[in-house]
Amino acid sequence: MKREIVIFGHPALRKRATGVDCVDAARKRLADDMLETMYEANGLGLAAQQVDETHSLCVVDVPAELDVLLPDGPRLNPAVVMPLIMFNPEIVARAGSEALTDEGCLSFPKMYAPVLRAGVVTVRFLNFRGQVQTCEVRGLMARAVQHEIDHLAGVLFVDHVAAADREALDAQLKEMERLGRGKTG
């Protein structure tokens, strides 16, 4: 079932997620709903807070054609099976050089701003079957994983935008916040 995505200003986006002790049927259903919602919105990732839930759960799906450094180049993460459904995800290692790239978020319609992220991260989580899984991801997939895990701590991508770039976004953010607050989602 598709859920409504809450917009910046909605209090759910600033809540810290609660860890899950097991992956039961209701949580699997939530993961399925989140995937459906993310695909419908053409997003690469979605965190539970964005559908007004508080479980520590996020999903990521970077399509093969975007999992490259250059168009038609080799895949950066050929061994990582999409989608990633991650309960209690935790970044256990960061590596690679950091990259400053424009980022967006389904809770910030039509807003993009440069964010510095680690190029390679290792993430540990409970997968859809409730098993502990660890995987190393790079490039855009690493960016998406860092972005979604931030959401679970109530941290939003605009929090990472440098002050000089943030100024340009302020008017747009204020308007979004006003609309987002009014929305019960």
Chain contacts with Zn ion (rule: CB under 5 A): 105
Q: Which is nearer to Zn ion, 105 or 126 (CB)?
A: 105
How remote is the C-alpha of 7 from its chain's centroid?
14
The tokens describing 4, both together, are: 């409504």
In angstroms, the CA 25 to CA 114 distance is 38
**Least distance (Å) between residue 10 CB and Zn ion:** 12
Q: Which residues are catalytic?
A: 148
Q: Which is nearer to Zn ion, 75 or 165 (CB)?
A: 165
Q: Which is nearer to Zn ion, 105 or 161 (CB)?
A: 105
End-to-end distance of the chain based on CA atoms, in angstroms?
15
> Which residue number is nearest to Zn ion in terms of Cβ?
105
User: Please, where are the H alpha helices in the chain?
Assistant: 25-40, 140-152, 163-182
Residue-wise over 15-46: b if at least 16 C-beta within 10 A, else e? bebeebeebeeebeebbebbbebbeeeebbbb
**Least distance (Å) between residue 45 CB and Zn ion:** 7
**Least distance (Å) between residue 103 CB and Zn ion:** 8
In angstroms, the CA 128 to CA 13 distance is 23
**Least distance (Å) between residue 148 CB and Zn ion:** 7
Contact by Cβ (8 Å): 133, 127: yes
In angstroms, the CA 74 to CA 181 distance is 43
